[in-house]
Amino acid sequence: PAPAHPAHTLVNAVLARCPEVSSVDASLRPGVVHRLDKDTSGLMVVAKNKEAHMNLAAQLKKRRVRKKYWVLVKGSPSREEGTIAAPLGRHPKDRKRMAVVPQGREAYTSYKVLKRLGKYSLIEAAPQTGRTHQIRVHFSSIGCPVAGDAVYGVRLPYLDRQFLHAFLLGFRLPTSGDYVEFRSELPPDLQQALEQVYRDSLE
């Protein structure tokens, strides 16, 4: 939730299903260990108690949580795989946006081109840091903006949100220390958009 969006949020749904999460912390997002950008789909982890929350938050801080995304960008990176290393901070003229700024916080996004589709490229992105809007700003900074992103990217006629999906999430269980990994399939709207991009690339 946020002041502008107090209801119909992930936290509201989590609290309805697991009321005990409300005691994890006093923030607007009790139990939520990390966030996804608005209009980004995919996997998140929610802690059901304070101990689990602290453990998972520590794993994130130490960069021990594995996260991967599927992202469709306009254009194509010059290399098949690599790492975008560019510091991120608030945009100097628009505080609601992020930007690559010299005095920003360090940010790293590794990537691999999965398929080139005409004017677009499907990419597997793995952020090594967790800065706000990181993937979207990083790819925009190298001239490959995220398709469908109304803030940093380019419009995609047959999609009303950015093509960004968190498909893999891996971490160690707070109780046993065992490593677990979860995967999420591409949702129908992104699958349909990808199929249309593929058809267009054949013309």
Catalytic residues: 37
Do residues 50 and 24 make contact, with C-beta atoms less than 8 angstroms apart? yes
Name the amino acid, one letter, at 171: F
Cα–Cα dist 170/57, whole Å:
13
The two three-digit tokens of residue 176, written as one number: 């046993």
Do residues 14 and 20 make contact, with C-beta atoms less than 8 angstroms apart? no
DSSP code per residue over 189-203: HHHHHHHHHHHHHT-
Residues ≥6 apart with Cβ < 8 Å to 119: 74, 75, 200, 201
Do residues 167 and 42 make contact, with C-beta atoms less than 8 angstroms apart? yes
If 0-12 CB within 10 Å is exposed, 13-18 middle and 19+ buried, where does residue 39 land? middle
Angle (nearest 5°) at CA 21 between 18 and 22: 115
